[in-house]
């Protein structure tokens, strides 16, 4: 039986390689007439860091600063992702047949990717990896490897192509 793919979670860290992986998510979505959920996870400030800053600021002021910064960061990231998405489709003179949603959350990336894939009912996760030559396994070991080992759905890992790519979230 051929698996049905209706919703794809495309996880991005906003790096050059994750932009390259986006095209794979789009092709997969087009082939299966599936939705794409674009997800970026911002790693939060550790409790130890918050405690260290507590020496200089009251808890209330510190939490207000952190909340404001997070809101601004989420807004900027959503704008960048929306701009990238629109630019990619304009360049290719195409449009994805199904919906694309953009989600930004705080937390530990691997945990949030897995949690949101389950929460959104995704059938597949697509993400890039930072191939660093001989050390590639070591670097794959961070978020990508945690997702690969714990995922209950297929994970497509897209390595950075050789040479320069023209894709970036930062244009």
Summarised one tens digit per residue, pLDDT across range 60-89 is 776 676 667 677 777 877 787 777 777 766
> Do 104 and 78 contact (CB within 8 A), yes or no?
yes
> Starting at the edge strand that comes first in sequence, how are the strands of the sheet with 7-11 ordered?
100-106, 35-42, 7-11, 124-129, 155-159
Question: What is the CATH topology of the domain spanning 7-159?
Answer: Rossmann fold (3.40.50)
Summarised one tens digit per residue, pLDDT across range 91-140 is 554 555 567 888 888 888 999 999 999 999 999 999 988 655 444 444 44
pTM, two decimals, is 0.75
Question: Whole-angstrom Cα distance, residue 63 to residue 48?
Answer: 14
Instruction: Return the DSSP state at 6.
Output: -
pLDDT of residue 169: 52
Task: Report domain extents, the chain.
Answer: 7-159
The share of the chain scoring above pLDDT 70, in percent, equals 66
Give the pairing type, strands 100-106 and 35-42: parallel
Mean pLDDT across the stretch 138-161?
A: 82
Question: Whole-angstrom Cα distance, residue 137 to residue 2?
Answer: 31
What the block records as the tokens of 48 is 């130890």
Summarised one tens digit per residue, pLDDT across range 30-44 is 889 899 998 988 876
What the block records as the tokens of 125 is 């996760």
């Amino acid at each position: 039986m051929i698996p049905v793919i209706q919703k794809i979670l495309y996880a991005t860290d906003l790096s050059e390689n994750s932009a390259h992986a986006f095209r794979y998510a789009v092709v997969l979505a087009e082939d299966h007439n599936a939705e794409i959920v674009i997800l970026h996870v911002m790693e939060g400030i550790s409790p130890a860091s918050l405690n260290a800053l507590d020496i200089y600021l009251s808890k209330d002021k510190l939490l207000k600063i952190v909340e404001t910064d997070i809101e601004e960061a989420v807004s900027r990231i959503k704008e960048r992702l929306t701009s990238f998405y629109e630019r990619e489709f304009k360049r290719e003179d195409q449009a994805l047949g199904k919906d694309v949603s953009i989600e930004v959350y705080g937390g530990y990336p691997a945990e949030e990717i897995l949690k949101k894939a389950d929460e959104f009912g995704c059938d597949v996760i697509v993400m890039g990896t930072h191939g660093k030559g001989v050390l590639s396994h070591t670097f794959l070991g961070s978020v990508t490897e945690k997702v690969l080992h714990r995922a209950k759905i297929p994970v497509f890992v897209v390595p950075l192509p050789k040479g320069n790519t023209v894709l970036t979230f930062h244009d």
